[in-house]
Amino acid sequence: MRTVEFSAVFGVVPGFGHDNDGRAEPLALVAAAWDVAAEAERSAHGLYVGAALAERRVLYPRDQGCPEGGEVSVEAMGACNVRCEDPSAWRDGVRRVVEATRLKLGQATVRIVFRDVEDELLTGRRNDDAS
């Protein structure tokens, strides 16, 4: 089945030309901001935009403010479950949640990437011991 997935990478320290010190745990910081935004989206539009989070290091030119070793960032990623979510409404919800999270984290910009992908839903119990 075809569906759409998204990814968005959030810096956790506002601005450029900084180091990576002095911030709370990056995953916890983004998770808290995302959850507040996703709950607000659920209250307003009936859809909680779920996401998986992974810590990342974003590299860009040092003369443009990239800290040594890269900027500590967190990627949020997820996919529309077309079995129970409208893809157009889901995309709109993703945009609103990403924007609210961006603002909460004090980030000037965040890029959202949407991709068309193949989706498989595995269900049931796996039985490796069957003879």
Neighbours of 53 (CB within 10 A): 17
Share of the chain above pLDDT 90, in %: 67
Q: Does domain 2-118 have CATH number 1.10.3470?
A: no
Is the separation of the CB atoms in 47 and 90 below 8 Å?
yes
Q: Is the pLDDT of residue 130 over 60?
A: no
Tokens of 32: 């808290």
Neighbours of 22 (CB within 10 A): 7
pTM: 0.86
Q: Is the pLDDT of residue 31 over 70?
A: yes
Is the separation of the CB atoms in 10 and 102 below 8 Å?
yes
Domain boundaries along the sequence of the chain: 2-118
Distances (CA, A) of 46 to 28, 41, 89, 109, 120: 25, 7, 10, 26, 24
The predicted structure's pLDDT at residue 66: 83
The predicted structure's pLDDT at residue 22: 56
State mean pLDDT over 113-124.
92
The predicted structure's pLDDT at residue 46: 96
The predicted structure's pLDDT at residue 68: 85
The predicted structure's pLDDT at residue 56: 94
State mean pLDDT over 3-7.
97
pLDDT (tens digit per residue) in 93-102 = 999 999 999 9
State mean pLDDT over 60-86.
91
Give residue for tokens 């990239």. 66
